[in-house]
Amino acid sequence: MDIILLGPPGAGKGTQAARLQTNRGMIQLSTGDMLRDAVAKGTPVGIKAKAVMAAGELVSDAIVSALIGERLDSATEGAIFDGFPRTAHQAEALELLLADRDRKLDHVIELVVDEEALVDRITGRFTCACCGASYHDHFHLPKIEGTCDVCGSHEFKRRPDDNEATVRTRMAEYRAKTAPILPFYEEKGLVRRVDGMASVDEVATAIDTILDTSQ
């Protein structure tokens, strides 16, 4: 099963993708994580992407599509596309990448959220520096203070682009370039809407129901 999690920054894509990866053996393919990794390592892709990401704008379609192409074969139990595709070109590139492998999308899960609430979600977001698990200052603290629930690490980090000004640009990019790809998937009958304002557990249950009733 190959699925897309679609929604603006802070909608909960990463949180839900990580959970599906743990529970179902699917593989989370997050272009944001891949790009941050490239920036940290100082690769040619990272050097190109760094300033674009800091400004909250979109990295080129060719770069992100190539990153997905390199990882797709590792997702033998199914891929969770998290933060990809973000433009019509990327949606087309994904169709080709999947068709080349005799695969096709099963669901496009849209997390429907309220933009104002997202600013709070993003400015409160932090992750485990070791395993990447996602937390929030108010909505989702680790069960034991200062200790990652997943891996036990005591080190956490915050993204440099998780500030209000950059978030506004990222939301504008979502509205202008990403939301318009929904009709493409709508026509194929693939779009499933989930209330992303519900709690993390409620959103997870709604996604599970979609995946379980389609098997």
Say how far residue 104 (Cα) sits from the centre of its chain: 19
| Residue among 160, 141, 127, 157 at smallest CA distance from 200 | 141
User: Which segment (13-21, 92-100, 126-134, 166-174) binds Zn ion by CB under 5 A?
Assistant: 126-134
Whole-number Å distance between alpha carbons of 133 and 141: 11
What is the CB-side half-sphere exposure of residue 101 using CA atoms within 13 A? 19
Element (H, E) at 106: strand 105-112
Of the candidate residues 93, 133, 167, 203, the single one contacting Zn ion (CB under 5 A): 133
Instruction: State yes or no: residue 32 binds ligand ADP (CB under 6 A).
Output: yes
Instruction: State yes or no: residue 128 binds Zn ion (CB under 5 A).
Output: yes
Whole-number Å distance between alpha carbons of 138 and 124: 7
Output 21 or 31, the one with its CB closest to ligand ADP. 31
Least distance to ligand ADP from the beta carbon of 15, Å? 3
Output 102 or 168, the one with its CB closest to ligand ADP. 168
Q: Is 170 a catalytic residue?
A: yes
Instruction: State yes or no: residue 79 binds ligand ADP (CB under 6 A).
Output: no
Of the candidate residues 20, 50, 56, 109, the single one contacting ligand ADP (CB under 6 A): 56
Cα distances (Å, whole numbers) of residue 13 to 18, 81, 147, 178: 9, 9, 22, 14
Instruction: State yes or no: residue 83 binds ligand ADP (CB under 6 A).
Output: yes
Instruction: State yes or no: residue 142 binds ligand ADP (CB under 6 A).
Output: no
Q: Is 13 a catalytic residue?
A: yes
Whole-number Å distance between alpha carbons of 159 and 83: 16
Binding partner of residue 184 among ligand ADP, Zn ion, none, CB under 5 to 8 Å per kind?
none
